[in-house]
Amino acid sequence: MRQDRRPYWVKKIYITFRTWYTNHFIRPACDLLGDYHTVMKPWYVHIGGPNIRIGKCATLVAEPDSWVRLGVWGAQPGLGSITIGDYVMISPGVRISAAESITIGDAVMMANGVYITDSDWHGIYDRVRRDETPTPVVIGDNAWLGDNSTVLKGVTIGENSVVAARSVVTRDVPANVVVAGNPARVVRELDQSRDFVTRAHYFADPEGLRRYYDTIERQVLTSNGFFTWLRILIRPTVRD
């Protein structure tokens, strides 16, 4: 990764603008967006539909080619919900589509390209009419969904469990296991005698954590010159 050549004050302006954008456009689209959120490139996040709640200390990362999309399309206006707990990690390309109810616990991590849905959306034989049998999805605290994994309707994933990359989860997953494959099956049991260090621990003091990183960035970026950064921005092939 290239060294960040921005002066400290330039990065502070960018973060201030990013926070303003999130609060101005993303927060009103949610029924709740908790405090201490970090939404990277929020202009590539799409929130659609009612009853979408995201807890505190959430981290959402979006990219131009990998939007984060949370959508509720209930059977009737105002129906359907997505409820996401505290301390979650939502990576680029994550899609969460609810017809009835998707509930995601605290400290859940969703890697790139994860897809979660509680409905088939269309019938197998009648492709025109909407599927009338959505079934809720529940993902327990501290679960980890790997790259491009898919969680389908009616699934409950137990706390601490891991879904391997590119797995397709079609049935319930117990707590404290690793599942893999299509359809996903248990391939390993986790050692429950060991303590889990979760994102909840990491964000135990969110204000202190923010001050810590601000201090580090001030130390690292203060010596960066504005005109050097501008030259590299205009001519990125120039290396220093």
Per-residue pLDDT of the chain (240 residues; tens, 9 = 90+): 578 889 999 999 999 999 999 999 999 999 999 999 999 999 999 999 999 999 999 999 999 999 999 999 998 899 999 999 999 999 999 999 999 999 999 999 999 999 999 999 888 888 888 877 779 999 999 999 999 999 999 999 999 999 999 999 999 999 999 999 999 999 999 999 999 999 999 999 999 999 999 999 999 998 888 888 888 888 877 555
Q: Does residue 146 form part of some domain?
A: yes
Transcribe 138-163 into DSSP letters: EE-TT-EE-TT-EE-TT-EE-TT-EE
Q: What is the pLDDT of residue 238?
A: 55
Instruction: For helices 8-21 and 206-221, give the axis angle rounded to 10 degrees.
Output: 140
Counting other chains too, the contacts that 61-64 makes at CB distance below 8 Å and 24 or more residues apart are 61/90, 61/91, 61/92, 62/92, 63/92, 63/93
Query: Rounded to whole angstroms, how far apart are CA atoms 24 and 39?
Result: 12
Q: Are 167 and 150 in contact (CB under 8 A)?
A: yes
- 43-80 in b/e burial notation, b at 16+ Cβ within 10 A? ebbebebbbbebbbbbbbbbeeebbbbbbbbbeeeebb
46 lies in which domain range? 31-204
Q: Does residue 20 form part of some domain?
A: no
24 flagged as catalytic? no
Q: What is the pLDDT of residue 3?
A: 81
Residue given tokens 């999805």 in the structure block? 137
Q: Does residue 23 form part of some domain?
A: no
Query: Rounded to whole angstroms, how far apart are CA atoms 209 and 156?
Result: 32
Q: What is the pLDDT of residue 31?
A: 97
Which of 12, 4, 18 minimizes the C-alpha distance to 223?
4
SS3 label, residue 205 = coil
CA 33 to chain centre: 13
Query: Rounded to whole angstroms, how far apart are CA atoms 112 and 144?
Result: 11
Q: Does residue 186 form part of some domain?
A: yes
- Considering 37, 46, 122, 201, which one is annotated as catalytic? 122
Supply 147's token pair. 């790259």
The sign of the dihedral angle between the CA atoms of 113, 115, 121, 127 is: positive
Q: What is the pLDDT of residue 126?
A: 87
Q: Does residue 219 form part of some domain?
A: no
Query: Rounded to whole angstroms, how far apart are CA atoms 214 and 169?
Result: 40
Q: What pTM was estimated for this model as a whole?
A: 0.93
Tally of structural domains, the chain: 1
SS3 content of the chain, % helix, strand, coil (to 5): 20, 30, 50
Q: Does residue 18 form part of some domain?
A: no
DSSP-derived letter for residue 232 is H
Supply 169's token pair. 């989860």
Q: Does residue 215 form part of some domain?
A: no
* CATH number, domain with residue 55: 2.160.10.10
Cis peptide before 92 (omega within 30 of 0): no
Q: Does residue 88 form part of some domain?
A: yes
